[in-house]
Each structure stands twice: as structure tokens, then as C-alpha cells.
């Protein structure tokens, strides 16, 4: 059994396939496994909570894990060690989520492209056809992650408290979420995944996408992301398409295309969940 795993900070999808790429069972979903944020004990707890994973753990021969927080050495090795300890017969490969986005969005293996992730967090890299060039080291959701789910959640909470939201939107927002200050601060400063908490507000944007306020907020985040991340590749952008992966990118496709036209870059593919493309990639490599 081969497990191909795509993990953000909020959720983690596990697909089990045989060596031909045929799916063995239904997709398994757990909480996100971000080793930069979660402690070792919590990583174990999340995986072991899944009955489906535990039932088949001895049958797993390969794990290809792509995840948020796996771009730096120590967190990556921590998660690899946890997976090897649980799935004792498996060869384990842990890679940053950027590579999942690259492999899932490219039109062919050696295509050169700028690849962006807009999900719970955000990221941007240039793939030259063989290797990733990432020119900005992430400092996490507190300082970076423009145009991500947690960025927009933060913006909406701020706008709510600073009275910048239109009144009709503010009423709907308060109806949907607990906006008590103590509750918000508890989730931001006491809970283990504040970035995922912030990102949970993002769905509200797309349920209210007809609002001019929402549309402009989305585009302003994309402008920041373009300036700070995509424009790191000013030469490459002249010839390479800009592909996007992640739920925020997928649902904000219209606004991204508008900003692309405004700021002068060419959008390519939009993929909501990279994991489907990864199944074909890995089974092809193993055969």
C-alpha cells in the first residue's frame, strides 16, 4: 500500500493506492500536520486518532508526504521520524508542500513556471524544469502569508473591530462567528493552531463574494502577494506562466485574474487540491 499525503495547517488528506495507482479505500482526512507549529506529541495524537490509518499501518510500503511546515530541516525530520515510528514497514519521503503544488499544476514535468500556494498559508516558488528556486524564506503566518486564509481571517477580524466593515456584512459576520474578544484572544494565543483558526474565517468571503468590500479585500491581498512574492521573479515572469494551487486561489480565481491583468503577469492553471495529480506522478515513478 502506498500513501500519498497532502497536508496544510488545517487539514491533511491521505490517499491509499496500489502500485498501479488504483485507489484502495476512500480518502482519509485528518487534522493538518504542520511540524513547525505542532509538537511531536500532537503529531502522534492526530495520526493515531485515525482508525483507518491505524488499521492498515503495517501494510504501508511507501509514504510520500507533502506538507506545510516541511520546508526547513528540523521540522521535516521530526515529522519523518514520527511517520517512520508509526508505519514501521514504510519508506518515508517528507517534502515541502511547494513541491506538491509544482507536480500537480505543471502541464508537463520539465515545464518552467512560477507556482503559488494560497491556502491556509501562502507561498511562491519558481520551478525551472528540474529544481525549485524559492527566494523568500517564510517567517510564518504572523509576518508573511499574504493572500492566505489566515491573512484574510486576520483582515476581517481587524475590520470588524475597527468598524471598517459595511454594516450588513458586519451583522452577517457576527451571526456566523463568535466575536467575543476573550474568545478570539484565547484562540489566537492559547490554542496550538492559531493560523488554522484565522483561516476558518475565509469561507465567509466566498459566501459573500457579491460584496464590493469582499472583492476589494481579496484583490488587495493578491496585490500584496504579487508585490512581495510573485515579483521576486521579475525576469522569469516575462516568459513563465503563474500557476496557483490551494482553496483560496481556486475560489478567488476571478479576482486573481483581474489583478494579474492589472499588474502584468500571465495566470496558468488553478488546482484546488494537488493530491489527485500526485497519485499519477508517484505510481508512474514506482513502475
DSSP structural state of residue 4: E
Task: Give domain status of residue 46, yes or no.
Answer: yes
> Distance between CA 174 and CA 185 in Å, rounded?
16
Task: Give domain status of residue 227, yes or no.
Answer: no
Q: Annotate 211-248 with b (16+ C-beta within 10 A) or e (fewer).
A: bebbbebbbbbbeebbeebbebbeebbeebbbbbbbbb
Main-chain dihedrals φ then ψ at residue 4, nearest 5 degrees:
-115, 125
> Distance between CA 131 and CA 27 in Å, rounded?
29
Task: Give domain status of residue 35, yes or no.
Answer: yes
Task: Give domain status of residue 139, yes or no.
Answer: no
Task: Give domain status of residue 185, yes or no.
Answer: no
Answer for the pair 7, 275: CB distance below 8 angstroms, yes or no: no
pLDDT tens, residue by residue, 63-114: 999 998 898 899 999 999 999 999 999 999 999 888 888 988 988 888 999 9
pLDDT tens, residue by residue, 223-235: 999 999 999 999 9
Q: Which three cell numbers stand for residue 81?
A: 521520524
pLDDT score recorded for residue 47: 97
Task: Give domain status of residue 208, yes or no.
Answer: no
Task: Give domain status of residue 154, yes or no.
Answer: no
Number of structural domains found in the chain:
1
Whether residue 261 is predicted with pLDDT greater than 90 in this model: the reply is yes
Q: Could you tell me the CATH number of the domain that includes residue 75?
A: 3.30.420.40
Task: Give domain status of residue 57, yes or no.
Answer: yes
Residue for grid cell 514501521: 88
Q: Band of the pLDDT at 205, cuts 50, 70, 90?
A: very high
Parent domain of 36: 2-100+274-286
Amino acid at each position: 500500500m502506498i500513501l500519498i499525503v497532502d497536508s496544510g495547517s488545517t487539514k491533511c488528506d491521505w490517499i491509499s493506492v496500489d502500485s498501479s495507482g488504483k485507489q484502495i479505500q476512500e480518502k482519509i482526512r485528518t487534522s493538518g500536520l504542520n511540524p513547525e507549529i505542532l509538537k511531536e506529541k500532537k503529531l502522534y495524537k492526530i495520526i493515531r486518532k485515525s482508525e483507518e490509518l491505524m488499521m492498515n499501518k503495517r501494510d504501508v510500503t511507501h509514504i510520500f508526504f507533502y506538507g506545510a511546515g516541511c520546508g526547513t530541516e528540523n521540522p521535516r525530520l521530526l515529522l519523518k521520524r514520527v511517520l517512520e515510528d508509526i508505519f514501521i514497514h514504510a519508506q518515508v519521503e517528507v517534502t515541502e508542500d511547494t513541491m506538491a503544488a509544482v507536480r500537480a499544476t505543471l502541464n508537463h514535468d520539465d515545464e518552467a513556471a512560477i507556482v503559488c500556494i494560497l491556502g491556509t498559508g501562502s507561498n511562491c516558488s519558481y520551478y525551472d524544469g528540474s529544481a525549485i528556486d524559492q527566494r523568500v524564506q517564510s517567517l510564518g503566518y504572523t509576518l508573511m502569508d499574504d493572500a492566505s486564509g489566515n491573512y484574510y481571517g486576520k483582515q476581517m477580524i481587524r475590520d470588524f473591530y475597527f468598524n471598517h466593515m459595511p454594516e450588513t456584512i458586519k451583522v452577517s459576520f457576527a451571526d456566523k462567528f463568535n466575536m467575543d474578544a476573550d474568545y478570539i484572544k484565547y484562540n489566537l494565543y492559547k490554542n496550538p493552531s492559531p493560523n488554522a483558526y484565522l483561516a476558518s474565517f475565509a469561507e465567509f468571503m466566498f459566501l459573500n463574494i457579491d460584496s464590493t468590500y469582499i472583492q476589494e479585500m481579496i484583490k488587495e491581498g493578491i496585490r500584496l502577494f504579487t508585490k512581495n512574492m510573485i515579483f521576486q521573479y521579475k525576469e522569469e515572469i516575462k516568459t513563465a506562466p503563474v500557476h496557483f494551487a490551494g482553496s483560496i486561489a481556486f475560489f478567488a480565481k476571478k479576482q486573481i485574474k483581474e489583478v494579474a491583468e492589472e499588474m502584468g503577469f500571465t495566470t496558468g492553471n488553478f488546482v484546488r487540491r494537488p493530491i489527485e495529480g500526485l497519485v499519477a506522478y508517484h505510481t508512474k515513478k514506482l513502475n
